[in-house]
C-alpha cells in the first residue's frame, strides 16, 4: 500500500473526510516513511497515514496556505470526544516527545492532523473499532510560512486562527 500522489485530491472512501493538502516535499518524505514501515512488517502503524497521503491534494511548499498543518507545524486542536484542547508539533518518527508536545505523524492523531486546515474536523476509526474525532483550532506555526522546507514566503504571517467564536465554544466544552 505505497502512498501515491493524488494531484486532484480525490480518493475512494474519502467523501466523509475533509479535504487535505500536503506539500510535495512532505509527501515525498512521508511516502518513504510509509515504505520503510511496510518493509519492516509494521504496516498497521501507517495505514491511516498511507490513506491520507493517497487522498491528499499536493501543493508546492511556497503555495501551501498558512492555515494548513504541515510537518513541523505547531497546532492547537480539540479532541471532540473529550473536549480536551491540546497543542502539538507534528514530527517525523524518532522526533516525538510527549513532554514537549511533539506528536509523530505515524500515530493516529498525527496522521489525522496532517493536511487539515484551521476549522476542519477529522474522524477516524481506531484499531479496536472506536470512532475518534478532532478539530483544528489554530495553526500556530508553519515552517513554510517562514520560508523553510523549500518554501520562500517572506512576510507571510505564521498564525492562522479559525473563527474565534467557534474556538471559544470548543475550549469551553
Domain ranges of the chain: 65-172
* Three-state DSSP class for residue 46: helix
Mean pLDDT of 58-73: 95
Q: Strand pairing partners for 160? A: 139
Please tell me the distance from the alpha carbon of residue 165 to that of residue 173, in angstroms, as a whole number. Answer: 13
Q: Tell which residue, 157, 169, 145, 167, has the closest CA to residue 72.
A: 145
CA-based diameter of the chain, in Å? Answer: 46
CB contact set of 76 (below 8 Å; sequence gap of 6+): 85, 86, 87, 136, 137, 138, 140
Task: Check residue 15 and give its pLDDT.
Answer: 62
pLDDT digits (tens, 9 = 90+) for 70-102: 999 999 999 999 999 999 999 999 999 999 999
Range 65-172 classified under CATH 3.10.50.30: yes
Average pLDDT, the chain: 82
Mean pLDDT of 56-75: 95
Please tell me the distance from the alpha carbon of residue 127 to that of residue 116, in angstroms, as a whole number. Answer: 22
Q: Where are the beta strands (DSSP E) in the chain?
A: 21-23, 57-59, 74-79, 85-91, 102-104, 121-125, 131-141, 160-161
CB contact set of 156 (below 8 Å; sequence gap of 6+): 66, 145, 146
pTM (2 d.p.): 0.79
Q: Is the pLDDT of residue 9 over 80?
A: no
Amino acid at each position: 500500500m505505497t502512498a501515491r500522489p493524488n494531484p486532484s485530491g480525490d480518493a475512494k472512501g474519502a467523501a466523509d473526510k475533509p479535504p487535505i493538502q500536503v506539500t510535495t516535499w512532505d509527501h515525498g518524505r512521508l511516502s518513504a516513511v510509509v515504505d520503510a514501515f511496510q518493509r519492516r512488517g509494521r504496516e498497521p502503524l501507517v495505514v491511516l497515514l498511507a490513506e491520507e497521503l493517497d487522498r491528499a491534494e499536493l501543493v508546492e511548499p511556497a503555495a501551501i496556505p498558512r492555515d494548513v498543518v504541515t510537518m513541523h507545524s505547531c497546532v492547537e486542536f480539540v479532541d471532540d470526544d473529550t473536549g480536551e484542547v491540546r497543542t502539538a508539533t507534528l514530527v517525523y518518527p524518532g522526533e516525538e516527545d510527549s513532554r514537549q508536545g511533539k506528536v509523530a505523524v505515524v500515530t493516529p492523531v498525527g496522521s489525522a492532523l496532517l493536511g487539515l486546515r484551521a476549522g476542519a474536523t477529522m474522524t477516524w476509526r481506531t484499531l479496536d473499532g472506536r470512532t475518534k474525532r478532532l478539530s483544528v483550532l489554530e495553526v500556530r506555526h508553519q515552517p513554510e510560512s517562514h520560508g523553510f522546507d523549500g518554501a520562500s514566503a517572506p512576510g507571510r504571517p505564521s498564525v492562522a486562527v479559525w473563527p474565534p467564536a467557534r474556538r471559544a465554544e470548543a475550549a469551553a466544552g
